[in-house]
Structure 1
Amino acid sequence: MAGFGLPNFGQLTEAFRKAQQIQQDAQKLQEELDAMEIEGSSEDGRASIWLSGNQQPLRVKLDPSLLNEGQDTAEAAVLAALQSAYERSTATMKERMQDLTGGLDLNLPGMGG
């Protein structure tokens, strides 16, 4: 069959083995990302938001003084903290995926690039 441009059985077996290993590693990575807590804070540190490595919201902490400064100030601080947490979580996820794929550019949705 090799004469018809098909890979030999050994190559197919190796490809399947690698695919299974990547699948197992991806599952492990998913679990690790779920367990992570990534904090993002407003510039003044009075608002903090934690996301998992998979960007699931985990908790919010606001300094009581922030609430006394009015709705606009509090909302801006929460938004800044959320953006910070999201950026850190996305960067962590992208880095871990690159480690998993050996730097292959898979152009995955939500992963930039």
Structure 2
Amino acid sequence: MEFNFKQNQQITIERVKEIILITIKDAFQEILGETSTMVVWHYLLLNTGLRIEDILDRPEIFISFIRNLFKDGAKIIEKKIKEKLCYRFKINPENIENIDLIDIIKQIITKY
């Protein structure tokens, strides 16, 4: 399922957050597969108390968890999430190449 919006089309903040969460889930499943992704979500809950639905309220904790869990491999996951966010929100990838994923997520939410 793809989410592309015309610039003048208005969407709710709830919908934007839903799209970001779907994008994050898709990136994880593409890299790790469905079963391993489910294990990561369970481990996230056990170690941080965050459910996947809550990560946009506390992205710093989510990204820190991913970086601690996957070490250097987190860069691959973050890059995939960035690529998918660029596609779904029509962002030029060159504009966010050196921006932290936490800031990108916050900027997308703020924009809408």
TM-score range, shorter chain: 0.3 to 0.5
**TM-score, structure 1 length as denominator?**
0.35
Q: Which has the higher contact order (CA 8 A, sep 6+)?
A: 2
**TM-score, structure 2 length as denominator?**
0.35
Larger Rg: 1
Higher strand share: 1
Higher helix share: 2
